[in-house]
Structure 1
Amino acid sequence: MVGQFQHKLSDDMPNFRNLLVSNVAGAEKVITELKRLYRRLPAAIVFRVNNGFETGLSQWKEFFTLQPAMTAVPFFLLTDRVTDRVRSLKKEFPFVDDVITRETFNDLPGKIEFVTRFKNMQQLPPVQQEPALPVLAQKSNRWGYFLKRTFDIIASTSLLLIASPVMLLIAIAIKLESKGNVFYASPRAGKNYKIFKFYKFRTMVADADKQLAKLKHLNQYGNNDKGAVFYKVSNDPRITRLGNFLRNTSLDEIPQLFNVLKGDMSLVGNRPLPLYEAATLTTDEWAERFIAPAGITGLWQISKRGKKEMSAEERIELDINYAHRNSFAYDMWLIMNTPKALIQKDNV
């Protein structure tokens, strides 16, 4: 229940427990914790119509765009009275399932049950069609792959030519600052767990990998020995002064254009993972992230890059979200939204 509520659920609703938060940001945090701790979604979301509610609905729209799986949760508007403007919101914001008032508030359990059943019916697998349909789908997939690969080759070649003077300057600066190789290469797991050598400019001290075990207690994703494991350390002491600048400006990523040109990666996709991270994502549910190509930028980067509060489960969900929506048109949208995510908000 999101907003200013003056009453709670009736005692006639023993199967429901309500949690009240004041705004959309608070609701997003609660939903994230529900998924992280209990692997559950809320039974419904009730959003109170009051001053500034249209801004709140715009925030919900962005939330559902980034997490389309959440549209399976019934979403209700609670208002004192149903006006023409409130009715029009259902067309403007399609994720709104119904409008309720104080008088109909006690009917909420029945409405939740009805909307949930209706949405589950919509998500049933389609009836088997004529053989021509899968053939067309296969042609569409092949055409999408052709467009994606062609764009990757042209864009990576052009960007490498443009960036070559900058790459030379970065290489010289790395050599002058610290001992070690200019490039950092490590095995990563990409699409379908395919392992390849992944390139970046070196941003850490030469023996950084050997020091990883000592820094587990600083891991921003927590020290969970069970389930998914990601490692990312805020203010990592292994990062050099130049390396910190390269990371925060994403300049350390430029050598990955060679991976794109080779076909190991795409410009857009899910981040290829170090093998110790990929090894923890082998369950049927989590492995879905590996059906998408590995990429330099993607849904995770434009929505959560550099933010310390992100959980491992939230990151996996974003990757799976992209894997299911993967298309050339969606890639172009993500590329257009990448520039504003290039500058990190935290030193991680």
Structure 2
Amino acid sequence: MVNRKEAFSIQILQLVDAGLVWLGFTVASLLRSPLREIRSLPPTDAAGLEQMTWVLFISVPFTPLLLEFFRFYRTPRTKTTVVSIKQLVRTLFVLGLVLGMIALFIRPLEGIRFDASRVILGGGVILSFLFLLIRDRVFTYLLSNRQVRDIHKERVVIAGSTQEIAQFEAELDPEIIDAWDLTARFDLESCSVDEFYQLLKLHSVERVIFTAGGTSFDRLSLAIEACELQGVEAWVGAAFIRTQIARPTFDVVGNQPMLVLRSTPELSWEVAMKAVFDRVGALFLILATSPLWIVAWLGIRISSPGASAFFAQKRAGRYGKPFRMWKFRTMVPNAEAMLEQIKQEQGNEMDGPVFKLKRDPRIFPFGALLRKLSIDELPQLLNVLLGDMSLVGPRPLPLYEVEAFEKSAHRRRLSVKPGITCEWQAGGRNRITSFEEWVRMDLEYIDNWSLWLDFKILLKTIPAVLFGRGAA
């Protein structure tokens, strides 16, 4: 059985492979004339690829289906080159047989030319074989590399009784476990729910798999609630469980059906497009705003010497995982050391753990201009390119502010990637002084997320930046 994440990955690979097959036949068509010239052969009247579109109509969509039939997309981490070659040979042999039979035996239909160039047919099959094999080996290599580096693995906790956890792992394919950073095996029977909550928080856990068939319903419900409040995916091998926020869906791990309680956007083409849009948009914005980067750098170095023009601070990323966020420096060099003194002398305009002061004395004049125009935020586009942030999402907070959260439900805003802009920022952040209201807006964004909602927030951000509305 294939779970949704694996099925989604296979669909992406099938689209890529369909494109590689098209590329193989296209290159073969382009090479036909040069090859004939090298061999000193006269020009031929055989059909070119533009007259052989039937080849593409058959080979492009059906090759990925044949590859799936021969299990080409299974066990990518452990599959050897020999196995891949065998699967490709079988697939392309069937494809070549079908194309050859059509080219030889099907008579021309009205308006359609079915004669074919053997160079295009044979060369297309050979080149498709090479392109697909290279893609497969590169993909396997990347998966193997990521498998070694724990930073790229999904942080997973298996929770249940000791016996159930051992039985669950014994029935799993080792390749599945190898893809995880198995943070802990948590015994729900002997450990408290508070310990479980601290485990999720301490290790920035992304998914919890409950194998708690014999665990009391109350204890299991409390553990699931801890996941729900922090936005951590809960995969439950149990009957239906009622939830207030998380959306229940079914998936599989190995051959075991699982109930998934997910309070964040589910993996989909829309989520994948968001990731692509983030990186393409960030790259475009970096190039488009590059003159502003130079002006900001020069202005900071002249008006506030003694420290770098860039400011880096550890912020809480997805699931609370720390990352280094970049900005243009708008405060005096020792600004962080002065924070407690400023709080005592000036107070805090934002209630809750977040500090906000409209006229912060640590901001030097040119820095205030950068903040008013939001130019100080531009280096965060580098964080988007690196995958730590998104263009749209809840604003990342410093680690010490996250540690000061009074309600565990506030941590659910950490269940998605932080963003450069959000509903709070685009709507004029000076008007909102309630941290509860800020969190409410972030959670509303998470619960109603769509790609169109991101576009709307980006469009609202443009006038907020141009008119300096809500800048601080």
The verdict on a shared fold, with TM-score over 0.5 as the criterion, is yes
Q: 1:303, CA displacement in angstroms?
A: 2.2
Q: In the TM superposition, what are the counterparts of 1:136-151 in structure 2 within 5 Å?
A: 141-151=267-277
Say whether residues 1:256 and 2:256 are aligned partners: no
Say whether residues 1:165 and 2:294 are aligned partners: no
Letter in 2 for 1:312: F
CA contact (8 A) 2:392 2:420 kept: yes
- C-alpha distance 126-157 of structure 1, shift in aligned 2 (>3 A): closer
Partner of 1:333: 456
Q: 1:324, CA displacement in angstroms?
A: 1.3
Q: Distance in 1 between matches of 2:434 and 2:269?
A: 35
Letter in 1 for 2:298: I
Q: Distance in 2 between matches of 1:302 and 1:289?
A: 17
Letter in 2 for 1:206: P
Which of 183, 196, 215 does residue 323 from structure 2 map onto? Answer: 196
Q: Distance in 2 between matches of 1:253 and 1:203?
A: 10
Q: If each structure's helix is expressed as a fraction of its own residues, which one has the higher value? A: 2
Q: Distance in 1 between matches of 2:411 and 2:265?
A: 25
Which has the larger displacement, 255-264 or 165-174?
A: 165-174
The SS at the match of 2:289 is: helix
Partner of 1:54: none
CA contact (8 A) 1:305 1:344 kept: no
CA contact (8 A) 1:304 1:310 kept: no
CA contact (8 A) 1:203 1:239 kept: yes
Q: Distance in 1 between matches of 2:248 and 2:300?
A: 59
Q: Distance in 1 between matches of 2:406 and 2:470?
A: 30
Higher RCO (Cα < 8 Å, 6 or more apart)? 1
Q: Distance in 1 between matches of 2:389 and 2:356?
A: 22
Letter in 2 for 1:207: N
Q: Distance in 2 between matches of 1:127 and 1:207?
A: 49
Q: 1:313, CA displacement in angstroms?
A: 1.2
Q: 1:191, CA displacement in angstroms?
A: 1.4
Partner of 2:407: 283
Q: Distance in 1 between matches of 2:464 and 2:332?
A: 26
Letter in 2 for 1:275: L
Q: 1:185, CA displacement in angstroms?
A: 0.3
Q: Distance in 2 between matches of 1:144 and 1:248?
A: 33
Q: Could you give the per-residue CA deviations for residues 67-109 of structure 1, whole angstroms, max 9, x where no partner exists?
A: xxxxxxxxxxxxxxxxxxxxxxxxxxxxxxxxxxxxxxxxxxx
Partner of 1:32: none
Say whether residues 1:244 and 2:371 are aligned partners: no
- C-alpha distance 242-148 of structure 1, shift in aligned 2 (>3 A): same
Q: In the TM superposition, what are the counterparts of 1:1-348 in structure 2 within 5 Å?
A: 141-179=267-305, 180-217=307-344, 218-222=347-351, 228-281=352-405, 283-307=407-431, 309-342=432-465, 343-345=467-469, 348=472
Q: 1:139, CA displacement in angstroms?
A: 11
Letter in 2 for 1:333: K
- C-alpha distance 127-262 of structure 1, shift in aligned 2 (>3 A): closer
Q: Distance in 2 between matches of 1:158 and 1:129?
A: 39
Q: Distance in 2 between matches of 1:124 and 1:186?
A: 32
CA contact (8 A) 1:234 1:346 kept: no
- C-alpha distance 127-280 of structure 1, shift in aligned 2 (>3 A): closer
Q: Distance in 2 between matches of 1:150 and 1:162?
A: 18
Q: Could you give the per-residue CA deviations for residues 149-182 of structure 1, whole angstroms, max 9, x where no partner exists?
A: 1001111111111111220121011101112111
- C-alpha distance 243-151 of structure 1, shift in aligned 2 (>3 A): same
Count of residues in correspondence between the two structures:
221
Largest Rg, 1 or 2? 2
The SS at the match of 2:430 is: coil
Q: 1:128, CA displacement in angstroms?
A: 7.8
- C-alpha distance 140-314 of structure 1, shift in aligned 2 (>3 A): closer
Q: Distance in 2 between matches of 1:246 and 1:255?
A: 12
Which has the larger displacement, 273-282 or 179-188?
A: 273-282
Q: 1:280, CA displacement in angstroms?
A: 2.0
The SS at the match of 1:285 is: helix
Q: 1:126, CA displacement in angstroms?
A: 8.1
Q: Distance in 1 between matches of 2:406 and 2:354?
A: 14
The percentage of aligned residue pairs carrying the same residue is 35
- C-alpha distance 139-332 of structure 1, shift in aligned 2 (>3 A): closer
Q: Could you give the per-residue CA deviations for residues 253-310 of structure 1, whole angstroms, max 9, x where no partner exists?
A: 1000000000000000000100111112373321111112200011111224123x52
List runs of 5+ in structure 2 lacking aligned partners: 1-243
Q: Distance in 1 between matches of 2:406 and 2:304?
A: 38
- C-alpha distance 201-124 of structure 1, shift in aligned 2 (>3 A): closer
The SS at the match of 1:187 is: strand
Q: Could you give the per-residue CA deviations for residues 184-227 of structure 1, whole angstroms, max 9, x where no partner exists?
A: 000000211011000000000000000000111421024xxxxx
Letter in 2 for 1:234: K
The SS at the match of 1:199 is: strand
CA contact (8 A) 1:204 1:240 kept: yes
RMSD of equivalent CA atoms: 3.1
- C-alpha distance 286-197 of structure 1, shift in aligned 2 (>3 A): same
Letter in 2 for 1:211: M
Q: 1:127, CA displacement in angstroms?
A: 8.9
Q: Could you give the per-residue CA deviations for residues 291-342 of structure 1, whole angstroms, max 9, x where no partner exists?
A: 12200011111224123x5211111111111121222221111111111222
